Amino acid sequence: MMDNLLFTAPDGALPEITSPAYELLLILSDVSKHARDHLCNELGGGFRAYLQQLTGEYYQHWLIHTEQGEYNGKKQTFYWLDERHFSCDWEQDKDARTIARKQYKDRAYYGTKNAVKRLEQATQEKAEADKEYKQRIESKKPTQD
């Protein structure tokens, strides 16, 4: 099925053949669902960075689906590549990439929005800690004449 991916993938969407991201894409190109542990075993460790490269801007947003399931008696996430990437139809491939790009930008937006909330809370907590420090610690320091 890798040939179908090669046919419709836009320029720059395929990782270098020697890269771990390419290895991940090659595994996902068999149109099956793959458990996290299976992917870790195949790739020799964690693959989060490669997944982020494939689904992000770096390789033009491959649409990789996930679902929770059971593998060897353990609950874990399963990953698979959207079927539109295999369609040999540039429009369907573009649809999949558009969906993946929206998901990517949604995650970035909400992550940033939450970071701003955390910053506001941290600013307030720091101000409270500074005030208490001044009252309790600095007020006890001997003054120098």
Position 142 in a domain: no
Residue-wise pLDDT for 5-52, tens only, equals 888 999 999 999 999 999 999 999 998 999 999 999 999 999 999 999
Task: Establish if 32 belongs to a structural domain.
Answer: yes
- Is 115 a domain residue? yes
Q: Is the pTM of this model over 0.85?
A: no
| Digit-coded pLDDT (tens) for 64-106 | 999 999 999 999 999 999 999 999 999 999 999 999 999 999 9
CATH number of the domain encompassing residue 121? 1.10.10.10
When divided into structural domains, the chain yields a total of 1
Residue 84: domain span: 2-136
The whole-number pLDDT of residue 37 equals: 96
In a domain, 71, yes or no: yes
Let me know: does 12 contact 59? Beta carbons within 8 Å. Answer: yes
Asked if the structure places residue 144 within a domain, the reply is no
DSSP assignment of 29-53, as one string? TTS--EEHHHHHHHHTS--HHHHHH
Residue 132 covered by a domain = yes
Tell me if 58 is assigned to some domain: yes
CA distance 25 to 17: 10
